[in-house]
Structure 1
Amino acid sequence: MISKNNSPFYLVLKRELIRMTSRKLYLGICIVLPLFCIFFMATIFGTGQMENIPIGIIDLDQTSTSRNISRTVSTVPTFKVTKHYTDIESARKATQQTKIYGYLVIPNNFEADVMAGRQATLSYYYHYALLSVGTEIYGAFESLLEPLSMTPIVTEAMALGISENQITNVLVPVNTQTHPLYNSGLDYSIYLTNPFFFILFQVIILLVTVYIVGSEIKFRTATQWLETANMNMFTAIVGKLLPYTVIFCIIGIFANYILFGVMDIPFSCGFLPLNITTIIFIIATQAFGVFLFSLFPAIGIVISVVSMVGSLGATLSGITFPVPFMYSAVYYCSFLFPVRHFVEINQNLLYGNYGFAYTWQNVSALFIFPLVALLMLPHLKNAILSHKYEDIE
C-alpha cells in the first residue's frame, strides 16, 4: 500500500513547492505582480471622474460678455483652461497634438449680436478619437452652454415684465431628470476597477500556467515530472498547478476585499458569491492555459499566443464595447474566453443579483474549460514523451 507521503500526487506537489520556493521569479510573478495590479487599479482612477482636462479658448470678441463666458468655463471642474489662442488654426493643431483636448470659439461681434437679438453662435471642438475624454468634454460643454444660450432671452423678457419662471416654462417646456442606475456619481472606478483588475489577473494566470508547465519541456525535466506522477498526466498537472491555484485564489479574494470592502464599491450580493465566482474563474483560466499549451507545447510560441489571447480579454469581455453589438463572428468567439463569462456573472452579482437563472450558462461555460483541458492531456503526454518540442525555442 502506498502511504500518503509517498503517493504520486504528494510527490508532484512537494516537487513543485521546492521548485517554486527555489526561484525568486515565482514569488515576483505569482504574488508581487498581482498585488501591484490591485494597488494600480485601486488608485488609477483617482476621484473616479475626469477633472482638469486641458482645453483652450479663442476669444475673438474681447468684450465683457466674452470674458464672463471665459471665466465661467474656467470654473467647470471638468476643464482646465491652459491657453487662450488668437486663431482657430493654432488651437486645432494643439488639439491634434493632444496638447489640449478641446477648445471654445467666441466669434467676432458676439456681444453685439446678442444685444441686438441677432443669431449668435458659440462653437466648441473636441478630440473624439479618445472616446471617453471626448464624451466628458461634450457633456461638460453642453451642460455649460445650454443655460448661457438662454440668458439673453431671459434677460430681455424680464426687462419686458415677464417673470423668469414664465419665460423658462416657454423655453424649456419639458424638464428631464437623469438617474444613472448603479453608479449615481458617474464614477469610473465603480464600473472599471473590478473588471480591469481581473482582466490583468487572467493574463498573469495564463502566463504563469503556460510557463510552469512549459519550463518542464524547456529544461528537459518533463520526463522526470511524469515519472514522479507515476506516468499519470492528470496527477502531474493537478499536483503542479495546485500551489498556484491556492495563491491565486487568496489574491483574488483579497482583491475583492480591497475593491468592495476598502474602496467601498457598491454591490448587490455578499462576499461569498463574489469569492466563489472568483475561484471558479481562476480554475477555468488555468485550464484554458493548459489547453492552449497542449495544442502546441512550445513555450516560446505559446507564451506569445497567450499574451495575445489575454490582451483580447479587455475587448471581448464586453467592458469597452457591448459584445452583442460586435460582428457575429467576434461575438461567438468571445464565449471562448473565461473572462467573458466571469464579467457576465460579476455584473449580474454587482448590479442586481438577479439570480442563477440569468447566469447558469456562463457558470456552466466556466466548468467546461477544465473538461476541455482534460481531453487534451493525452496529447500533452505524448508530446512530452516524444521529446520533439524540447529544441523549439
Structure 2
Amino acid sequence: MERTRGPFAAVLRRELRRMISRRLYFGVCVVLPLFCVFFMATIFGSGRMENIPVGVVDLDCTAASRTVVRTIESVPTFRVTRHFADEESAREATVRKEIYGYLVVPPRFEVDLQGGRGATLAYYYHYALLSVGSEIRGAFETVLQPFSMTPIVTEAVALGASESTVESFLVPVTSQSHPLYNPGLDYSVYLSQPFFFVLFQVLILLVTVYALGSEIKFRTWEAWLRSADMNIFKAVTGKLLPYTAIFITVGVLANYVLFGLLRIPFSCGFWPLNLSMALFVVATQCLAVFLFSLFPAIGIVISVVSMVGSLGATLSGVTFPVPFMYRPVYYASFLFPVRHFVEISQNLLYGDASFASSWPSVGALLLFLLLPLPVLPHLEKAILSRRYENIE
C-alpha cells in the first residue's frame, strides 16, 4: 500500500514546491479568478440598464414637443446627451455609437395633436447590440404609449364620456407581466453566475495545459515521471490535484459572493450548487488533459484550448437557447462541459430540481472524467520521444 501511495505523494509534493516557487501560479490560480469574481459581482451595477445615451430631434419646438422631451429626460433608462437640428445628424451619431437611439418630434406636431390629425412620434435605436436595443425599444414604447391615447381621450371627455370608460374602450385587454424567478428584471440575477463560470472554464483550461506543458517546455519531464515511478496516470493526477483544490475553493467562494453577499435569489441550497461546480471543475480539467494529450506542444495547445473556451462560452446557452441553435451546432454543444454545467445550474437555481432531474447533463460531465484515459498512453509516448521539446 505504501508503494502505491508513494509516487502519488511525491508528485503532489513536487508540484506544491513548483507552485510556491513561481509567482505566476499564484497570479493565474488565485488572483485572476478572484478578480473575475469581483468583476462579475460589480459589472451590472444596480442590475438594470440606466443612463443610456440618446438624442432628441425636436422639429416642432412647441409646448407639446417640450413636454414629450421632458418626459423622455425623466426616464431612468435614458440620458438625453444631445439635441440635434436634423435627423441626418442624429442618425450619424447613432452609427458612430455616440448615442444608441433618438426621438424625432415632427413639424406641426402640436397642431396635428390638437386637431386630431394623427400626429406621429418616431424613434430609432441601434439594434446591433441586442440587449441595449431591446432596452431602448421597451422604454420608448412604455413612455410614448400614453401620448398615443391623449387626443382621443381628450376629445371623448370633452363630449361627456368619462376618462375610465374611454381608456377601457381603447385598451379593452389589460396585460400584466410577472417575470418568473427574476421579477425585478435584474441582469445580475441570470447573468452573473453563468458568465463567471464561462470565464472560469477558460482559466481552468489554460492553467491545466500550461502546468502539463511546462514540464516539456522547460525539460523537467524526466524528474516529473521519475517522481511518479514512470506511471503517467499518477503523474497527471498528482500534478493537477492542487489546482483542482484551488479551483473548487474559488468556485465555492464565488457561489458565496453571488448568492450569499449579493443575495441573488436561488431555489436550491449551497450544497447542490457546490457539488455541481466541483464536478464541472474536474470535467473541465479532464477536457484540458485530453486536448493536451493530443497536442503535447504548449504553443499549439494553448491556442487550441483558447478556441475551445471561446466556443464553450458561445455554446453554453447563456445568451441564446441551445436547443434552438442550428442542429449541427446544437449537437456540437454537447462536447463542452460548460454547456452541461449551465443546464444543471439553471435547473437547480430556478426549479429547485434535484440531480436526478438533470441526469443527462450530470452523466455527460461524468463521462468527461473518463475522456483522458484512452489518450494518456499517447501522452506518455510523446513525452518520452522528446518530439515536442523544441516546438514553441
TM-score bracket for this pair, using the shorter chain length: over 0.9
**Amino acid in the other structure paired with 1:104:** L
Distance 2:326 2:212 in 1: 35
Structure 1 counterpart SS, 2:127:
coil
| Residue 285 in structure 1 maps to residue 289 in structure 2 | no
C-alpha contact (below 8 Å) 1:107/1:122 kept by paired residues? yes
Distance 2:116 2:275 in 1: 65
In structure 2, the residue matched to 1:127 is: 126
| Residue 346 in structure 1 maps to residue 345 in structure 2 | yes
TM normalised by structure 1 equals: 0.98
**Amino acid in the other structure paired with 1:176:** S
CA shift for structure 1 position 89: 0.3
Structure 2 counterpart SS, 1:305:
helix
In structure 2, the residue matched to 1:236 is: 235
In structure 2, the residue matched to 1:318 is: 317
In structure 2, the residue matched to 1:213 is: 212
In structure 2, the residue matched to 1:95 is: 94
| Residue 183 in structure 1 maps to residue 182 in structure 2 | yes
Structure 2 counterpart SS, 1:76:
coil
In structure 2, the residue matched to 1:368 is: 367
C-alpha contact (below 8 Å) 2:202/2:310 kept by paired residues? yes
Taking the TM superposition and a 5 Å limit, the aligned residue runs for 1:1-393 are 2=2, 7-393=6-392
- RMSD of aligned Cα (Å): 1.1
**Amino acid in the other structure paired with 1:295:** L
Structure 2 counterpart SS, 1:104:
strand
Distance 1:190 1:97 in 2: 31
**Amino acid in the other structure paired with 1:201:** F
Structure 2 counterpart SS, 1:359:
helix
Question: Which deviations, in whole Å up to 9, do the C-alpha atoms of 1:295-340 show, x marking residues without a partner?
Answer: 1101001001111111122210001111111111111111100000
CA shift for structure 1 position 115: 1.0
**Amino acid in the other structure paired with 2:167:** T
**Amino acid in the other structure paired with 2:336:** F
Structure 2 counterpart SS, 1:80:
strand
CA shift for structure 1 position 356: 3.0
Gap regions ≥5 residues in structure 1: none
Structure 2 counterpart SS, 1:120:
coil
More displaced stretch, 46-55 vs 215-224: 215-224
1:169 to 1:2, Cα distance in 2 relative to 1, 3 A: closer
Distance 2:110 2:312 in 1: 52
C-alpha contact (below 8 Å) 2:268/2:353 kept by paired residues? no
Structure 2 counterpart SS, 1:119:
coil
Distance 1:363 1:2 in 2: 34
Distance 1:218 1:343 in 2: 35
Distance 1:311 1:265 in 2: 26
CA shift for structure 1 position 2: 4.0
CA shift for structure 1 position 355: 2.7
C-alpha contact (below 8 Å) 2:268/2:348 kept by paired residues? yes
CA shift for structure 1 position 253: 0.4
Distance 1:358 1:125 in 2: 45
Distance 2:212 2:126 in 1: 46
TM normalised by structure 2 equals: 0.98
Distance 1:147 1:20 in 2: 64
More displaced stretch, 173-182 vs 306-315: 306-315
**Amino acid in the other structure paired with 1:17:** L
CA shift for structure 1 position 358: 2.8
Distance 2:357 2:2 in 1: 46
C-alpha contact (below 8 Å) 2:54/2:79 kept by paired residues? yes
Structure 2 counterpart SS, 1:105:
strand
More displaced stretch, 87-96 vs 151-160: 151-160
Q: How many percent of aligned residue pairs carry the same amino acid?
A: 67
Gap regions ≥5 residues in structure 2: none
**Amino acid in the other structure paired with 1:91:** A
Structure 2 counterpart SS, 1:313:
helix
Distance 1:268 1:119 in 2: 50
Distance 1:379 1:217 in 2: 14
Distance 2:263 2:129 in 1: 29
C-alpha contact (below 8 Å) 1:314/1:320 kept by paired residues? no
Post-superposition, which runs of at least 4 consecutive aligned residues in structure 1 deviate over 2 A? 1-4, 354-358
CA shift for structure 1 position 3: 6.3
Distance 2:2 2:244 in 1: 26
Structure 1 counterpart SS, 2:57:
strand
CA shift for structure 1 position 11: 0.6
